Amino acid sequence: MEKSRLLPKEAAEYLGCRYDKLLQMVRLKQIPHYRIGRRVFFTKETLSLWIENLERQSLQG
């Protein structure tokens, strides 16, 4: 199954956050991403799982 690749601007739009905030999270390794050379990519499926995990953690804390 092929995953939906997102560019940073697309990922920021999907998450509903600012582009510069997303790049800051990448630099701090706070969000799942991958690189090819200097380019940064995301997958929609991985971001969805990441969001679900954050939601679960918020209910436990």
The rounded mean pLDDT for the chain is 95
Q: Rounded to whole angstroms, what are the CA distances from 18 to 9, 14, 57, 60?
A: 9, 10, 23, 27
Domain limits for position 47: 5-60
Query: DSSP state, 31?
Result: S
| pLDDT for position 56 | 94
pLDDT for the residue 2: 74
Average pLDDT on 23-43 reads 97
pLDDT of residue 61: 65
Cα 18 from Cα 6, distance rounded (Å):
15
Rounded percentage of the chain residues whose pLDDT exceeds 70: 97
pLDDT tens digits for range 1-27:
678 999 999 999 999 999 999 999 999
Q: How many domains does the chain have?
A: 1
Distance, CA of 33 to CA of 41 (rounded, Å): 6
Closest CA to 35 of 1, 8, 9: 8
> What pTM value is reported for the model?
0.88
Give the Cα separation of 3 and 5 in Å (integer). Answer: 6
